[in-house]
A = this chain, B = another copy of it.
Amino acid sequence: MAMEPILVKFIEKPDLTDPVLVEGLPGVGNVGKIAAEYLVEKLNATKFAEIYSKHFPPQVLLRGDGLIYLVRNELYYYRNSGGRDLILLIGDYQGLTADGQYDLSYEVLRIAKELGAREILTLGGYATGRLEGVPRVFGAATHSHLIPKYTQYGVIFSETEPGGGIVGAAGLLLGLGMNFFDMAGVCLMGETTGYFSDPRSAREVLKVAVRALEVPVDLTDIEESARRIEEIAMRIAAEEEEEEGRRDLGYIG
């Protein structure tokens, strides 16, 4: 008998009130992953399920104390006195294949539905190659009634961007959710170069998410991470400019 494609280990089945499913898995610039893990940590959310799957790489990871764990996704919940409860999805990997991506998103939606979720917020990055300025946050929604809430936080719902659509769990959870689970939702995408893990972009996404989800999250630490990246980026940019200047003056062959 073959192993089931997805094996979910429940730690508990929490009793939640109209929760919002929030996703942040590895992806472009790891923007969604950084943002969602920041929420889990700062909200001290409670893990209630681990998702193992043959759709993930056949691999264990080190925990740093000589111990290993099998690659997985994890579900947390947060009881929100200031707003709606949260179900948070984070993890080491997304599904390796199209089949795996669909299967995993479908399974997460089944669990979220069972826990009463009707709304989804997915977090991701949008590779523009652009480094200067404050990263903009783009949005895409399943239903138009969700858009005004986010535009008031500065989110851009563009006619054309992102041109290639949204690939992976951040898109699939919305697409499968609206078609097969009667859910509505929004994807927030922070601009990022796409070349490195980007806390600057995650910070901008978090600013919107924290307001939209009405959660008490202190953004000081992500601001700090973002600032460090900004300094590095500015230094590199300055060096490149200097370099170009010298080249223009003929100092370099």
Contact = CB atoms under 8 A, between A and B. Distances in A.
B98 A165 contact: no
Counting every copy of the chain, the complex holds 4
A64 B141 contact: no
A142 B61 CA distance: 11
In terms of DSSP, what is the predominant structure of the interface of chain A?
Answer: mixed
B65 A144 contact: yes
Top 4 A-B pairs, shortest CB-CB distance = A70-B175, A66-B157, A58-B101, A54-B102
Contact of A179 (B52, B62, B142): B52
A58 B171 contact: yes
A106 B53 CA distance: 12
B102 A180 contact: no
Interface string A37-60: 000000000000010101111111
Interface in A168-200: 168-169, 171-172, 174-176, 178-180, 187
A248 interface: no
Given A62-B165, A106-B3, A162-B62, A174 B68 contact: yes
Contact of A60 (B52, B57, B158, B171): B171
20 contacts: A1-B107, A2-B5, A2-B6, A2-B107, A3-B103, A5-B99, A54-B101, A55-B98, A57-B167, A59-B167, A60-B165, A64-B159, A66-B139, A66-B141, A66-B158, A66-B159, A67-B142, A68-B166, A68-B175, A70-B175
